[in-house]
Structure 1
Amino acid sequence: MLTLEQVKQKSAARLAKLHPAVLAGANELIRRSYNRGVPILITQGMRTIAQQNELYAQGRTKKGDIVTNARGGDSYHNYGLAIDFALLLPDGRNVSWDMKRDGDGDKVADWQEVVQEGKKLGFEWGGDWTSFKDYAHLQMSFGLSIQDLKAGRRPTAQQSAAALSRITGGEPEVNKDIPVNITLNGKKLTTGVMDEAVTYAPVRAIAEALGAKVTYNASSKTVNIVKE
C-alpha cells in the first residue's frame, strides 16, 4: 500500500495555482480520505480558459461524452477554486470513478466517504447540483457567483482566513521552514515566511518603511495603518 506522502505526491502537480484555501483543503482531503482507507487522486485543479473550452467541445464538436456545461470562464476551475477527484486503486497507478465501490469494506461507498470529508472542509459538491450533476467536482465559491468572478471579484482576506481556519481546525498553520526576505526597492526591510502561496510578514516594518503609522487596538484586535 502506498504511503500518505506517495499518495499526496501523485496529486501535487495538479494543485498548482489553486487558491490557498482550496489548496489546503485539497491536501487535507487527501489526508483525511487516506486515513479512512480511501486513497484519492486529484485529477483536475486550476484550468485555463483554453483548456475549459477544449473540455466543453468534448461531446459537441469533438469526440467523447459531454462532461461539462461550462464554457471557458464559466467554471470555478478557471479561478483556482475547484478540484476534481477520483479513487486511487490499490495498484497505485489506476483510478476509478465507481461511486459504489467499497474498497475499504466498511459498508460505506468510498466515494461518499470522500464527499463527506470534503463537505466538512467547506467544499461544495457538484453531486448536489439540481441540473448538470458533476460527481467528481468539489469547489469553494466563497459566496461568489461566476459573474462576480468574471467581474474581477475574488475571495476577501477575511473569507480566505476563515476557510483556512475551518480546514486546520483553528488558526492557519504556518510553515516556518520557508523564510523569505521582504525588500523595498531592492533594500531588505524584514523577513517573513511563505506558506501555501501566502506570505506572512511583520506589518509594522513594511508600513513604517512606506511612511505609515501602525497602532493596535487590543479590545477589537485591530491593527490600524494610517498614512497621511
Structure 2
Amino acid sequence: MAFQLDARSLQRLQGVHPDLAKVIHRAAALSPIEFRVIEGLRTEKRQRELVASGASKTMNSRHLTGHAVDLAPYVGGTIRWDWPLYHKLAPAVKQAAAEVGVPIEWGGDWRTFKDGPHFQLPFGGYPK
C-alpha cells in the first residue's frame, strides 16, 4: 500500500539526515500500513524531558543529531501504538533501507528497552 507522507510528517523530517529521510520516503511506498513521523530532530530540552519521564533512557539519543526518527502506525485515522502493527511496519522500513543502500537499526530489535517507534542510522556508519 503506497501512500504519501502527510504535511506534518514531512515537516518532522526537516533536520533529519537526508539518508534517513530517503529511507522513510521509500518506506511509505512499501509499507502495508500507513504511518506518521512522530519525531525527528530533537532539542536537548525535549530529550531531557523524555529522559525525566522515562520515555527515553539516554541523553546520547540519535534524535539530537537528526540520525533518528520515531514512526507510528496510522490506522482508521488514528495514531496506534499496538506492537503487532510495528511488526508490520518495521519490515517495510528495513526493506526500504536495503533498497536505497542505507543501514538502519530498529529499536524493536534491541535486547533491552525495546522501542517500537524508533528507527536510526547506526553510529558506526554515521558518527555525530
TM range (shorter): 0.7 to 0.9
Structure 2 partner of 1:95: 79
Q: SS state of the match for residue 4, structure 1?
A: coil
Q: Match of 1:4? A: 3
Residue in structure 1 matched with residue 17 of structure 2 by the alignment: 19
Q: How does 1:96-175 map to 2 (within 5 A)?
A: 96-100=80-84, 110-120=85-95, 121=97, 122-141=103-122, 143=124, 149=128
Q: Distance in 1 between matches of 2:61 and 2:119?
A: 12
Structure 1 pair 142/70, CA: closer, same or farther in 2 (3 Å)?
Answer: closer
Task: Measure, in 2, the Cα distance between the counterparts of 1:80 and 1:57.
Answer: 21
Q: Please list every run of at least 4 consecutive aligned residues from structure 1 whose deviation after the TM superposition is greater than 6 angstroms.
A: none
**Stretches of structure 2 lacking an aligned partner (at least 5 in a row):** 98-102
2:108 and 2:91 map into 1 onto residues whose CA distance is 12
Q: Which runs of 5+ in 1 are unaligned?
A: 59-65, 101-109, 150-228
Structure with more of its chain in helix, by fraction: 2
Structure 1 or 2, whichever has the larger Rg, is 1
The alignment covers a number of residue pairs equal to 121
Higher relative contact order (CA 8 A, sep 6+): 2
Asked if structure 2 preserves the Cα contact closer than 8 Å seen for 1:8 and 1:27, the reply is no
**Structure holding more strand per residue:** 1
User: How far did 1:12 drift?
Assistant: 1.1
- Which position in structure 2 is the counterpart of 1:157? none
The percent of aligned pairs where both chains have the same amino acid is 29
Q: Which amino acid aligns with 2:57?
A: N
